[in-house]
Amino acid sequence: MRIVIAGAGPAGMVVARTMVERGHDVIVLEKRDVPGGKVSAWQDADGDWIESGLHVFFGAYHNLLAFLERYGLGDTFNWKPAEMIFASERHGLAPIRFVPWLPTPFNGLAGVLAFKPLPLRDKLRMGLGLLRVILGDQAYVDAQDNETYASWHLRHGMGQRSLDEVMHTMALALNFQRADRVSAKLPLTAMLHFAHEKEAPRMALVKGSPDTNIWRPLIAQIERLGGKVELNARVSAIEYDSETNQVTGFRLDDGRLVTGDVYVSAMPVHNLRKVIPPALRELPYFANLSHLKGSPVITMQLFFDRRIAGVDNLLFSAGTHLSVYADMAMVAPEYHKGERSIMQFVVAPAAELITLPDDELVQFVMSEFVRLHPNAREAKLLKYTIVRIPNSVYQALPGVDKYRPDQATPVRNFFLAGDYTRQHFLASIEGAVISANRCVERITEAQARGDLVLQPYMSVAAD
């Protein structure tokens, strides 16, 4: 089969690498000049890497880790201890450490018990409240989707203090929304994995650029096996034949029509909605995509003349817009700058900040950063980079989960991949990999049923 994939993000690349290995003719079309989607990176004029986000990976990412190991990329990450370090004006740096010699879930509960910003009463309330998750399963977690996490948290007696000190930050790190906005399913899914899997809370960052460590090696592998990844190739329309109920091609901005036997959209959901043909828009399957809206987020890198935070791990903060950040010169060995810091921030919630001019945004972030790390006042800011993403991962709002589509669409030769599609995990790179694996399964099932009618096709043609 010839498989045409729109989107060279994690989902599209996993589908492409898997299917090309199985002997299929694969072409990936990517609108940007760099691969990786939400996990992309590129170099500025000075040769420094700019990342589309602070890319964090967990031990719970079994599908991603297995995929990278299978294709010789298992040594991609720089692993950190299983701990969440919170920075605040009042308490300085305070970690929640998962105690390595204790079994689950006691390793995490012991970490909460030692967390300094919470008084003993709130620690006990939080530990007791989380028993419902610890003793539950994914079915229980799924059933909490119609409620915000904040409501669930307070309803289970854990109190406002732990919500403010811990859970708003966790929700922002997961979905760029506060806990009073996200579905309870989102944080509870993460906590379920942390409570049941010893390695799940371990965190890692790529040793350097994901472009050179993940995406370019995968592209080289795909092309060695006869596949193709074409950058600067934006899909502007999906051509569809209603009589045969088949997609007949992906139309590109330059007028070319790329055709094949099977078509996969691995585009973000907001981009997919723009190119769905009118004949399909009224079908409930495609109409439901309107409920899936992206979360705005800003990634900022500040280059300083000296070391500031001094922590070789991620940092979280409560009560600021710096939900999670890290010194990339410390956590990623290939970015090492001697004693100079490259502070990379996830700025969220970002809805009211994303339109600010660069200088105002830098001033805002610096004011919050200096509150957490006063020694930054003495540092010289050498340069900065800002990446604004108006539509990042879909907003996991209460009640939205039911609108996530299966990877098989009502169109016989058209499939979807992306972390917004139906799968049990979070909107994350792991969720994208799971969705890609399911997309491959759906294509294989359709082929086995004889639903895919293989047609002569043009390689790349224009009207």
Q: Which CATH class is domain 2-39+209-292+398-462?
A: alpha beta
Task: Determine the Cα–Cα distance for residues 452 and 418; give it in Å rounded to an integer.
Answer: 22
In the predicted structure, residue 457 carries a pLDDT above the cut 70:
no
Q: How far apart are CA 439 and CA 266, in angstroms?
A: 10
pLDDT exceeds cutoff 70 at 44: yes
Amino acid, res. 222:
I
C-alpha distances out from residue 440 to 16, 68, 393, 407, Å: 9, 17, 22, 9
Contact assessment for residue 405 and residue 414, using Cβ atoms and an 8 Å cutoff:
no
CA 248, chain centre distance (Å): 31
Strands of the sheet with 461-462, listed across from one edge? 235-241, 246-252, 256-258, 461-462
Provide the pLDDT confidence category of residue 353 given band limits of 50, 70 and 90: very high
At 453 the pLDDT is: 75
Q: Which residue has the higher pLDDT, 154 or 89?
A: 154
201-220 mean pLDDT: 96
> Are 383 and 407 in contact, with CB atoms under 8 Å apart?
no
Give the pLDDT confidence of 65-119 residue by residue, as tens digits: 999 999 999 999 999 989 999 999 888 999 999 999 999 999 999 999 999 999 9
Q: Which two tokens stand for residue 309?
A: 């935070």
Residue 455 contacts residue 37 (beta carbons within 8 Å): no
Strand-strand pairing, 77-80 and 203-206: antiparallel
In this predicted structure, which of 368-372, 385-389, 452-456 has the lowest mean pLDDT? 452-456
For the domain made up of 297-389, the CATH class stated in words is alpha beta
Average pLDDT over residues 231-258: 97
Residues 6+ apart with CB under 8 A from 453: 244, 246, 261, 412, 413
Answer yes or no: is pLDDT of 350 > 70. yes
**126-140, 221-235, 290-304: the lowest-pLDDT one:** 126-140
Is residue 236 within 8 Å of 275, Cβ to Cβ?
A: yes
Backbone φ and ψ of 50, nearest 5°: -110, 130
Q: What 3 state SS string does the chain have? A: CEEEEECCCHHHHHHHHHHHHCCCEEEEECCCCCCCHHHCEEECCCCCEEECCCCCEECCCHHHHHHHHHCCCCCCEEEECCEEEEEECCCEEEEEECCCCCCCCHHHHHHHHCCCCCCHHHHHHHHHHCHHHHCCCHHHHHCCCCCEHHHHHHHCCCHHHHHHHHHHHHHHHHHCCCCCCCECHHHHHHHHHHHHCCCCCCEEEECCCHHHHHHHHHHHHHHHCCCEEECCCCEEEEEEECCCCEEEEEEECCCEEECCCEEEECCCHHHHHHHCCHHHHCCHHHHHHHHCCECCEEEEEEEECCCCCCCCCCEEECCCCEEEEEEHHHHCHHHCCCCCCEEEEEECCCCCCCCCCHHHHHHHHHHHHHHHCHHHHHCCEEEEEEEEECCCCECCCCCCHHHCCCCECCCCCEEECCCCCCCCCCCCHHHHHHHHHHHHHHHHHHHHHCCCCCCCCCCCEEC
pLDDT band at 20; cut points 50, 70, 90: very high
The tally of CA atoms less than 13 A away on the side-chain side of residue 9 is: 30
User: How high is the pLDDT of residue 459?
Assistant: 44
Q: Which residue is it, tokens 């090696």?
A: 217
Which pLDDT tens digit goes with each residue over 159-187? Answer: 999 999 999 999 999 999 999 999 999 99
Q: Map out the domains of the chain as residue ranges.
A: 2-39+209-292+398-462, 104-195, 297-389
pLDDT score, position 452: 85
CA dist 354 and 151 (Å) reads 28
- Whether the pLDDT of residue 218 is over 70: the answer is yes
Q: What pLDDT does 456 receive?
A: 56
pLDDT in tens, 283-326: 999 999 999 999 999 999 999 999 999 999 999 998 999 989 99
Across all residues in the chain, what is the average pLDDT? 94
pLDDT of 460 higher than 60: no
- How many CA atoms does the CB half-sphere of 118 hold within 13 Å? 27
Using CA atoms, how far apart are residues 89 and 86, in angstroms rounded to an integer?
Answer: 10
C-beta of residue 410 within 8 angstroms of C-beta of residue 282: no
